[in-house]
Amino acid sequence: MLVLPALGLLNVVIVGFVTTTLVAAAAFAVWTIVAPKVDPASRLTRLTLAVLEEDEGEDADARRRAFETMAAQIGRYAQTTDVNEVENLKRTLIYAGYKHRRAIEIFSGLRVAALLLIPVMLAPTAFFLDVSVAAFTMLLGAAFGYYFPLIALSQMAARRQGDILRAYPDALDLMVSSVESGLSLDQAFKRVAAEMRQVSPSLASEFALVTSQAAAGIDRITALRRLEERTGLDEIRSFVNMLTQAERFGTSVSASLRLYASVAREKRVARAEEKAGQVGTKLTGIMIVFFLPVLMLVLIAPPGLNIYYGEGG
């Protein structure tokens, strides 16, 4: 007698949640597109994008900017006020390659949208499953939609850092050849960025950004420090420190680069050997989970069948 009213109330809650979420999402989308925020910073950004992206087409650019605006508006309301958490998220976004000035707001908006929309997509399971099971599934979907983007972002940042780190010794060798052939350090960065575009687009884009900042009038040491902040790698930090010292004390850049390139190659070999040494440990867990049960079944099944049928006979 008490189960039916509870299930009926749960159905009402699910239907109300889905309806409220859809109506609120549609109203917010219409409000953002029809009455966008027109403060001076937003107007300047819109004008800048219009100048820089004329070749993309007005329709595609308008749709993209409308999507970014909606995500940023949601993220602005849902963004945490913890300064350390905001800084960590900003750093992770930069490591993953997202340098948009509203990247934190857009990412927070996507997390909130996934938090609300995934339960809505899972709501029809209430017609096929028990209502309590469907509600629990929706709660799991909400948790997945909120936390999975953060996990995926961390994986993207680690993958991009690994890609930069793998191509980094080769880029140093190419930079040593460029400097020793008579090119300046800025020209060497530009050449390495052009040559490494097919091998490692992430490293090429970072080196190209250093060249662009130096050409725009930013001090070379400042541009190198920003490279260190964007990558978050100890190897890049040591590389920047080496170039900074060579720039400050007037030592030979080519000799310092050659020495540092050899050290970078040795570190890459050491990392490869370390990963090779971990293969045995990783294979042990895989064998225990997948190979050992099958082996036990092969060893125990024949005697067990003989005993069973022997006793039966």
For the stretch 85-133, pLDDT in tens is 888 888 898 898 888 777 887 888 788 888 878 887 877 776 777 777 7
159, 194, 225: which is the final residue of a domain? 159
Residue 40 lies in a domain: yes
Our count of domains for the chain comes to 2
CB neighbours (10 Å) of residue 64? 13
Of 36-45, 54-63, 196-205, where does the model show the most confidence?
196-205
Residue-wise pLDDT tens digits, 132-145 = 777 788 788 888 88
Q: Does residue 172 sit in the same domain as residue 258?
A: yes
Residue 305 lies in a domain: no
Residue 309 lies in a domain: no
Residue 235 lies in a domain: yes
pLDDT band at 180 (very low <50, low <70, confident <90, very high): confident
pLDDT band at 155 (very low <50, low <70, confident <90, very high): very high
Q: Does residue 9 sit in the same domain as residue 137?
A: yes
Its domain, for residue 44, covers: 3-159
To which residue do tokens 């993220």 refer? 75
Q: Which residue has the higher pLDDT, 276 or 12?
A: 276
Q: Does residue 105 sit in the same domain as residue 174?
A: no
Q: Does residue 29 sit in the same domain as residue 128?
A: yes
Residue 53 lies in a domain: yes
In contact, 31 and 66? CB cutoff 8 Å: no
pLDDT of residue 54: 44
Q: Does residue 194 sit in the same domain as residue 106?
A: no
Q: Does residue 179 sit in the same domain as residue 258?
A: yes
Q: Does residue 97 sit in the same domain as residue 225?
A: no
Residue 165 lies in a domain: yes
pLDDT of residue 137: 82
Residue-wise pLDDT tens digits, 46-90 = 544 444 444 444 455 555 666 566 666 666 666 666 778 888 888
pLDDT band at 199 (very low <50, low <70, confident <90, very high): confident
Alpha helices by DSSP H, 53-183: 58-78, 83-95, 103-122, 131-180
Q: Does residue 25 sit in the same domain as residue 170?
A: no
Residue 294 lies in a domain: no
What's this model's pTM, rounded to 2 decimal places? 0.69
Residue 301 lies in a domain: no
* Position 209, amino acid: L
Residue-wise pLDDT tens digits, 164-173 = 888 888 888 8
Q: Does residue 18 sit in the same domain as residue 125?
A: yes
Hey, what long-range contacts does 76-84 have (CB within 8 A, 24 or more apart)? 76/105, 76/108, 76/109, 78/108, 78/109, 78/111, 78/112, 79/104, 79/105, 79/108, 80/108
Q: Does residue 195 sit in the same domain as residue 80?
A: no
Q: Does residue 47 sit in the same domain as residue 127?
A: yes
Q: Does residue 38 sit in the same domain as residue 121?
A: yes
Distances (CA, A) of 229 to 48, 59, 77, 156, 223: 25, 35, 28, 17, 10
Residue-wise pLDDT tens digits, 255-285 = 888 888 888 888 888 888 888 888 888 788 8
Residue-wise pLDDT tens digits, 216-264 = 888 888 888 888 888 888 888 888 888 888 877 777 778 888 888 888 8
Q: Please state the rounded mean pLDDT for residues 171-190.
A: 86
